[in-house]
């Protein structure tokens, strides 16, 4: 018992990051300089974690007691990492700007640099005007979502499956689909993400419903009219009509311990700030003095869940994010930390270590994601008193359909408000 106990003590003292597997380290734009910060380099890697299921900051992880453990009793998992950092850390501004990846993507240059997507360190257009880099930010993306498809450029996490002390766990899963065009076959996963496979394709307990509005009456579609095309796709005679809401309810197995993805974000950001196990980026904490979490839409809802579930405190009870910017998230959270979680689906508190908050929304979030709930009294009759370190404002209409048109989005995004905010927020934290 002495060996595992010593290993466990050393691991907890160092933090949850146990190793970083470096995949590639390369210059950004062949070593081009970005203002006074100078050249940047790109780090692509896989981060390995081991967390203590009994530690207080991990007790909010759903099914953590049902995750497999190693010999010392720790839960292991890993995540993809992508970083753009100043080659000379002392020339940076000391701030790690951590984007909570939206379905595996990387949008910071698009949001702040007038850049095209997807991000490619070798293509100038995808870095735009280089604003964030010339300001000295370290840009960080760490995979957290387990159901991201294995496509080049997308970041994901690799999380264990929960079992009932070795026995398979089953449960009910609800998959919803709304489309713009008629389709004969639809996936169980949301927006290209991997869905939970159906346990029994022929089970009479599998149901398919349809309704015409969110609060509309559900109509059960007879089994004779539909079937599973395979374990993750559904086929309907005559096709799924655009504009209608279809809901597949079925039994699945092997739920992922999804909340570990949130813990991975927490623990990697903690590693950047405080250091820990020897890795290829072990000295990063000497230049990173603060961290800001930034998320758009799904990423913003993630950050709200992150705070609500009390994740802003690492296993050593240190503050992780110094500031959090949830953008166009409204009052929503999401299916990020529960059994059979589906992180991609829209989410139609308590805080332990509280960062400074900046919540930005547009009219869509007020109409559709109840954004007014973040700054009104519970009865909705008055504005609530502002909390210290908390700000809420409306910058632009990001999520509404007409704003997804590139010329309109560029016009809205090019307002100096957002670029000014990120620099001031960095100083504020």
Please write the tens of the pLDDT for every residue from 287-346.
999 999 999 999 999 999 999 999 999 999 999 999 999 998 888 889 999 999 999 986
The confidence score (pLDDT) of residue 410 equals 43
Closest by alpha carbon to 354, among 299, 298, 311?
311
Query: Which domains does the chain show, CATH number per domain?
Result: 2-160+257-428 (3.40.50), 170-253 (2.60.40)
- pLDDT-derived band at 350 (thresholds 50, 70, 90) equals very low
Segment 412-426 shows an average pLDDT of: 62
The confidence score (pLDDT) of residue 392 equals 59
Cβ neighbour number for residue 42 with a 10 Å cutoff: 19
238: burial class by Cβ within 10 Å (0-12, 13-18, 19+)? exposed
| Segment (H or E) for 427 | helix 416-428
* Three-class DSSP category at 324: strand
Model confidence at 153: pLDDT above 70: yes
The confidence score (pLDDT) of residue 66 equals 98
Model confidence at 365: pLDDT above 50: yes
Contact 118, 102 (CB under 8 A): no
Segment 15-37 shows an average pLDDT of: 96
Segment 242-269 shows an average pLDDT of: 97
- pLDDT-derived band at 417 (thresholds 50, 70, 90) equals low
The confidence score (pLDDT) of residue 391 equals 58
Question: How far from 130 is each of 32, 99, 410, CA to CA, in Å?
Answer: 11, 16, 16
Q: What b/e readout covers 65-77, taking b as 16+ CB neighbours within 10 angstroms?
A: ebbebeebebbbb
- Would you put residue 38 in left (φ > 0), alpha (ψ -120 to 50) or beta? left
Rounded to 5°, angle at Cα 270 from 264 and 274: 150
Q: Give the percent of the chain with pLDDT over 70.
A: 84
Q: What are phi and psi of 112, to 5 degrees?
A: -120, -20
Compute the distance between CA of residue 332 and CA of residue 301 in angstroms, rounded to an integer: 6
Segment 365-380 shows an average pLDDT of: 74
Model confidence at 356: pLDDT above 80: no
Contact 346, 334 (CB under 8 A): yes
- pLDDT-derived band at 204 (thresholds 50, 70, 90) equals very high
Contact 400, 328 (CB under 8 A): no
Question: How far from 81 is each of 139, 180, 187, 409, CA to CA, in Å?
Answer: 11, 34, 28, 28
The confidence score (pLDDT) of residue 396 equals 52
> Poorest-confidence range of 15-19, 251-255, 321-325, 394-398?
394-398
Q: Give the percent of the chain with pLDDT over 90.
A: 73
Compute the distance between CA of residue 404 and CA of residue 397 in angstroms, rounded to an integer: 9
């Amino acid at each position: 018992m002495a060996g595992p106990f010593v290993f466990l003590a050393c691991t907890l003292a160092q933090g949850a990051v146990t190793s970083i597997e470096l995949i590639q380290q390369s210059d950004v734009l062949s070593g081009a300089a970005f203002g006074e910060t100078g050249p940047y380099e790109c780090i692509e890697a896989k981060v390995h974690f081991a967390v203590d299921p009994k530690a207080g900051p991990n007790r909010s992880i759903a099914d953590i007691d049902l995750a497999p453990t190693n010999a010392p009793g720790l839960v292991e998992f890993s995540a993809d990492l992508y970083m753009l950092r100043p080659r000379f850390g002392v020339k940076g501004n000391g701030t790690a700007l951590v984007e909570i990846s939206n379905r595996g993507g990387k949008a910071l240059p698009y949001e702040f640099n007038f850049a095209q997507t997807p991000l490619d360190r070798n293509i100038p257009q995808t870095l735009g005007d280089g604003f964030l880099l010339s300001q000295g930010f370290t840009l960080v993306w760490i995979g957290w979502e387990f159901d991201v498809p294995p496509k080049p450029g997308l970041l994901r996490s690799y999380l264990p499956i929960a079992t009932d002390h070795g026995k398979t766990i089953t449960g009910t899963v609800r998959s919803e689909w709304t489309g713009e065009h008629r389709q004969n076959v639809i996936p169980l996963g949301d927006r290209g993400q991997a869905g939970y496979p159906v346990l029994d394709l022929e089970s009479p307990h599998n149901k398919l419903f349809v309704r015409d509005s969110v609060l509309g009456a559900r109509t059960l579609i007879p089994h004779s009219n539909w079937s599973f095309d395979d374990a993750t796709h559904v086929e309907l005679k005559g096709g799924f009509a655009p504009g209608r809401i279809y809901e597949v309810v079925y039994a699945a197995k092997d739920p992922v311990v999804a909340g570990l993805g949130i813990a991975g974000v927490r623990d990697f950001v903690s590693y950047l700030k405080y250091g820990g196990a020897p890795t290829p980026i072990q000295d990063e904490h000497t230049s990173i003095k603060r961290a800001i979490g930034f998320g758009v839409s799904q990423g913003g809802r993630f950050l709200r869940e992150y705070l609500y579930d009390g994740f802003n405190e690492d296993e050593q009870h240190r503050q992780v994010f110094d500031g959090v910017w949830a953008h166009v998230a409204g009052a929503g959270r999401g299916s990020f930390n529960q059994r059979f979680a589906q992180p991609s689906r829209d989410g139609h508190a308590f805080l332990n270590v509280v960062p400074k908050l900046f919540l930005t929304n547009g009219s869509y979030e007020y109409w559709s994601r109840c954004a007014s709930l973040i700054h009104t009294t519970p009865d909705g009759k008055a504005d609530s008193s502002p909390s210290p370190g908390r700000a809420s404002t409306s910058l632009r209409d990001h999520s509404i359909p007409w704003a997804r048109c590139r010329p309109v989005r560029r016009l809205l995004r090019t307002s100096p408000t957002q670029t000014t905010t990120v620099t001031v927020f960095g100083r504020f934290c």
